[in-house]
């Protein structure tokens, strides 16, 4: 009888220990992260199995890395910059190394970052020699009185801040060189260039253990862009926005539409003032408003509770996320892939 009682006590103790552990876990502040690598970049029938696997591998690896950093208590600002810098170094994406080429055969890079606690933001546009545009954007936010710097001035500032400067050719890949040749040939033949060859972006949004929301975006812009064209990525409120009262958003797509409709801040405003969920707000804008005016693209968004939304109105959007409950997604196309 004594032996049975001891066994019962052990079982009850184990149960209580499990309940306590679950309670402690439940009390941990939620963290969440979402990553995108561009929308409308490769169609399902154009991507090879090797490319598909490569995109999924890096997206999965980086979302896991970023999530672990958040669980470790790293500041959201640092996590966003770290993960975007890894994307900037990958030739798979239109940001940093692997960025698209302008009509003149140069790279003009844009980036922005914003934190939701203070509403501080920093951005650079049209930089050609800064190794990491997102690092330059953070420097503008933290070490200058300004929000956006452009062109040679932004490069001079980045150099003064001790950021790595490189020759513009460092960002060039054979894939992007061929894309520019095809784009020019289509233009000269009077053929409307295929949208998939023209734009793409990388972005990260997070909720950290302090409850802070941060959004960052980095891009090479559109293939064949001219006259110093700047898209939505570095424009606060259009392609990048974060506010602890609502959400953090990073966008990707045809930037002119995202600028005109202030997509990122519009989504967060709907969450804050209409009281709708992040999923409803993002869907209304991306699958409703933008579709009505012909704007292609998508967003990643996270709210203060760790909910994630990643809608897009193109055939695909490279994306990965881990929400506040630990649900993990790595995908390229629509539901069911």
Statement: residue 329 has pLDDT above 80: yes
Cross-sheet strand order for the sheet of 328-331: 148-150, 121-127, 109-115, 213-219, 202-207, 32-39, 317-322, 328-331
Report domain extents, the chain. 1-29, 31-331
**Of 21-35, 81-95, 229-243, 250-264, minimum mean pLDDT range:** 21-35
CATH architecture of the domain covering 31-331? 4-Layer Sandwich (3.60)
Neighbours of 276 (CB within 10 A): 15
- pLDDT for residue 46: 74
Euclidean distance between CA atoms 202 and 113, whole angstroms? 12
CA-wise closest residue to 217 among 125, 146, 305, 292: 125
Q: Has 201 been annotated as catalytic?
A: yes
pLDDT score of 12: 56
Q: What is the pLDDT of residues 32-91, one digit of tens each?
A: 999 999 987 567 777 889 989 999 999 999 999 999 999 999 999 999 999 999 999 999
Sign of the torsion formed by the C-alpha atoms of 38, 286, 282 and 316: negative
User: What is the number of other CB atoms lying within 10 angstroms of the CB of residue 147?
Assistant: 16
Taking the CB of residue 27, how many other CB atoms lie within 10 A of it?
7
The two counts, helices (H) then strands (E), for the chain are 10, 12
Give the pLDDT of residue 26: 53
The single residue of 201, 217, 240, 314 carrying the catalytic annotation is 201
């Amino acid at each position: 009888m004594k032996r049975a009682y001891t066994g019962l006590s052990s079982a009850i103790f184990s149960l209580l220990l499990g309940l306590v552990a679950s309670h402690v876990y439940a009390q941990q502040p939620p963290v969440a992260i979402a990553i995108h690598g561009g929308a409308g970049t490769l169609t399902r029938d154009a991507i090879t199995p090797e490319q598909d696997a490569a995109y999924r591998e890096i997206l999965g690896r980086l979302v896991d890395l970023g999530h672990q950093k958040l669980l470790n208590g790293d500041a959201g600002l640092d996590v966003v910059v770290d993960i975007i810098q890894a994307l900037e170094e990958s030739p798979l994406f239109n940001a940093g190394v692997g960025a698209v080429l302008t009509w003149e055969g140069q790279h003009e890079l844009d980036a922005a970052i914003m934190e939701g606690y203070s509403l501080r933001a920093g951005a650079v546009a049209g930089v050609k020699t800064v190794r990491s545009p997102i690092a330059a954007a953070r420097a503008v936010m933290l070490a200058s009185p300004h929000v956006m710097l452009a062109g040679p001035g932004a490069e001079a500032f980045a150099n003064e801040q001790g950021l790595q400067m490189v020759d513009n050719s460092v960002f060039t890949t054979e894939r992007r060189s061929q894309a520019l040749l095809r784009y020019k040939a289509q233009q000269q033949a009077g053929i409307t260039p295929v949208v998939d060859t023209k734009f793409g972006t990388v972005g990260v949004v997070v909720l950290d253990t302090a409850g802070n929301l941060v959004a960052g975006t980095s891009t090479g812009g559109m293939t064949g862009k001219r006259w110093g064209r700047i898209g939505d990525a570095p424009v606060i409120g259009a392609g990048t926005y974060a506010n602890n009262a609502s959400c953090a958003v990073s966008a990707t797509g045809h930037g002119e539409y995202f600028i005109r409709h202030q997509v990122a801040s519009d989504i967060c405003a709907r969450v804050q003032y209409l009281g709708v969920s992040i999923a409803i707000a993002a869907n209304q804008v991306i699958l409703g408003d933008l579709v009505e005016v012909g704007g292609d693209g998508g967003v990643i968004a996270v709210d203060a509770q760790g909910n994630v939304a990643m809608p897009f109105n193109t055939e695909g959007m490279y994306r990965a996320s881990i929400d506040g409950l630990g649900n993990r997604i790595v995908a390229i196309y629509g539901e069911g892939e």
